[in-house]
A = this chain, B = another copy of it.
Amino acid sequence: MTCVTRNVRTYDHFCLTARALERVGDRWSLLVVRDLLTGAKRFTDLMDRLGGITPKTLSQRLRELEDADIVTADREPGRREVWYRLTPTGADLEPVIDALNWWGVRHSWRLPRPGEPLHAEHLLRAAVQAVDLATDDREPVRWHFRLDGTDYLAESDGHRWSLTAQAPPAPAWADVTITATTDALAARIFAQSDLGIDITGEPEPVRRFRQLIGTLATVVGPG
């Protein structure tokens, strides 16, 4: 019996949704894109965030995403590290990640479970979208988070929120600076606990930050 198995990686349809999924529909692929949306990362940076992925699978996914013109690898001679970043085509996937994350926030938002891998970057992404979901407040603002020693910038331009992993481009660039550990931020969001959190800035932006972040626990659904 000759079983000529069709390639599992393709659908061979004209449909553009199917062809998009041929490029990013594999297990882990969109999570790699998610983590590169906040900026270039090294192999081990990605391993940290993609809890449970094996190095074999990660290197395979990175090569497939390179072949699909979604990721490029910066390999400078004389430097050990390889920095992976999104191509313009890959960066165009941001609405896909946003839509998935938005759906997840609406239908699966819940407290973190004990021992569940929870990276600061993902908690922050969820929190920013939950703010967007829970309130009508879209006033421009710039929040600087320093979580577990890494800097993130969350900003609203009046229409959309964005999240990047980088230090503020200039002193006093941010309206509020929040310093904490990932766990302390989770406790702030889900239990209104200020333990281990430092919030600095002008009184009004700080008040607004506290008010917006305070609404997030109420978003908790059945999930």
The reply on A142 being an interface residue by CB < 8 A is no
Contacts of A223 in B (CB 8 A): 19
The reply on A13 being an interface residue by CB < 8 A is yes
Q: How many copies altogether?
A: 2
Interface size on A, residues (CB 8 A): 51
Whether B92 contacts A96 by the Cβ 8 Å rule is no
How close is A104's CB to chain B, nearest CB, in angstroms?
A: 3
8 A Cβ contacts from A89-131 to B: 89, 92-93, 95-109, 112-113, 116-119, 122-123, 125-126, 129
Of A23, A100, A101, A105, most buried by chain B (CB within 10 Å of CB) is A100
Q: List 19 A-B contacts (CB under 8 A).
A: A12-B51, A13-B117, A14-B112, A14-B118, A15-B31, A15-B34, A15-B104, A16-B104, A16-B129, A17-B31, A17-B97, A17-B125, A19-B108, A20-B107, A21-B30, A21-B100, A95-B103, A98-B99, A99-B99
